[in-house]
């Protein structure tokens, strides 16, 4: 039987550590860490994610500043809000929920966020820092994935890691983190040939394709560790619906360890967002004391 990696429990423990650190920051500076969350439009999935992020902030003692803007918002208005948040000393982290409505250039918006407040780790400065191994804020989902992997793997050197999906949010940054640990990393995508054969060579699979139950049992080598980043609501024949990941988890008994969906990567992503906000608050207080 594969071990189930309990992301929910790990996220709870990380959030408790973050809450301890928040208390320390308040004791030292008198100001709690603050996270600004910007939601443009009303994408239903984004509404749910943003709601969860704000609720978890509250649990950890982080102040959240919610900014909701209509889908018709002009890009210039969003830029103006970001400029205001960049300048606000009570705001240590800024998160603009993606995807943005059509007509707004997401890259230009992300470029405008101060790299020091970029708790998503999407600014080109932080992307560059990650790819050169020179610090910076690291994207939350990849950070959470590495913590989940660290709970079952001590030494990554020479392990074959196959990342399925080349997104800027997950695939590319997690491949950089695995490379940093000296795994041999293969990044695959929709055009990859013979993907099951490539996956079968992996000691570690990170499935982040957004394709429900793509990874079947025969894709996975016995003893591999599988991280399932997918989260898709599917409707059954009887009309009922459920959430499934990118892996056919019931076929993975021969894996060493797998993450469940839900309850694996998702909770860790939010816990890492809180941890990044505290890190950004520490960076801000260090620079104001310098
Ligand atoms: N949309 C899907 N995932 C993310 C994320 O990690 N951060 C932001 N800002 N938007 C997202």
**Whether 120 is catalytic:** yes
**pLDDT tens track, the chain, 290 positions:** 999 999 999 999 999 999 999 999 999 999 999 999 999 999 999 999 999 999 999 999 999 999 999 999 999 999 999 999 999 999 999 999 999 999 999 999 999 999 999 999 999 999 999 999 999 999 999 999 999 999 999 999 999 999 999 999 999 999 999 999 999 999 999 999 999 999 999 999 999 999 999 999 999 999 999 999 999 999 989 999 999 999 999 999 999 999 999 999 999 999 999 999 999 999 988 887 76
Number of C-alpha atoms within 13 angstroms, CB side, residue 50?
23
Burial class (CB in 10 A: 0-12, 13-18, 19+), 262: middle
Q: State which of 99, 169, 173 you would mutate to test the pocket of ligand 1, scoring each by most atoms of that ligand within 8 A of its C-beta.
A: 169
Catalogue all structural domains in the chain, each as residue range(s) with its CATH number: 30-115 (3.40.50.10860), 140-266 (3.40.50.720)
- The residue annotated as part of the active site, out of 56, 117, 118, 120, is 120
**Whether 53 is catalytic:** yes
The structure tokens listed for 202 are 């992996």
Residue 120 CB less than 6 A away from ligand 1: yes
Residue 98 CB less than 6 A away from ligand 1: yes
Q: Specify whether the CB–CB gap between 35 and 57 falls below 8 A.
A: yes
Residue 273 CB less than 6 A away from ligand 1: no
Q: How far is the CA of 97 from the centre of ligand 1 (A)?
A: 5
Question: Cβ neighbours of residue 29 under 8 Å, at least 6 residues apart?
Answer: 285
Residue 213 CB less than 6 A away from ligand 1: no
Alpha-carbon torsion (265, 104, 188, 133), positive or negative: negative
Pick the residue whose CA is nearest to atom 1 on ligand 1. Answer: 98
Pick the residue whose CA is nearest to atom 2 on ligand 1. Answer: 98
Residue 21 CB less than 6 A away from ligand 1: no
Q: State which of 97, 113, 165 you would mutate to test the pocket of ligand 1, scoring each by most atoms of that ligand within 8 A of its C-beta.
A: 97
C-alpha closest to that of 276 among 132, 111, 117? 117
Q: State which of 36, 53, 120 you would mutate to test the pocket of ligand 1, scoring each by most atoms of that ligand within 8 A of its C-beta.
A: 120
């Amino acid at each position: 039987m594969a071990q189930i990696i309990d992301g929910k429990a790990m996220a709870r423990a990380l959030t408790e550590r973050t809450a301890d650190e928040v208390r320390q920051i308040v004791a030292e500076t008198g100001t709690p860490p603050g996270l600004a969350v910007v939601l443009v439009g009303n994408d239903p999935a984004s509404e749910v994610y943003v709601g969860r992020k704000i609720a978890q902030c509250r649990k950890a003692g982080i102040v959240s500043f919610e900014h909701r803007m209509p889908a018709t918002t002009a890009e210039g208005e969003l830029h103006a809000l970001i400029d205001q948040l960049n300048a606000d000393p009570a705001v240590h982290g800024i998160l603009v929920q993606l995807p943005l409505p059509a007509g707004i250039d997401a890259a230009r918006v992300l470029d405008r966020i101060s790299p020091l407040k970029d708790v998503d780790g999407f600014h080109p400065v932080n992307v560059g820092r990650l790819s050169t191994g020179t610090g910076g804020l690291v994207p939350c989902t990849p950070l959470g994935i590495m913590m989940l992997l660290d709970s079952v793997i001590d030494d990554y050197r020479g392990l074959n890691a196959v990342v399925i999906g080349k997104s800027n949010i997950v695939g590319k940054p997690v491949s950089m983190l695995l490379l940093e640990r000296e795994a041999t990393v293969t990044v695959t995508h929709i055009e990859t040939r013979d993907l099951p054969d490539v996956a079968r060579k992996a000691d570690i699979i990170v499935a982040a394709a957004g394709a429900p139950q793509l990874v079947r049992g025969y894709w996975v080598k016995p003893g591999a560790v599988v991280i399932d980043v997918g989260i898709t609501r599917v409707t059954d024949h009887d009309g009922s619906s459920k959430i499934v990941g990118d892996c056919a988890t019931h076929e993975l008994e021969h894996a060493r360890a797998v993450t469940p969906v839900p309850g694996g990567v998702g909770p860790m992503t939010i816990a890492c967002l809180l941890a990044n906000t505290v890190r950004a608050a520490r960076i801000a207080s260090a620079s104001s004391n310098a």
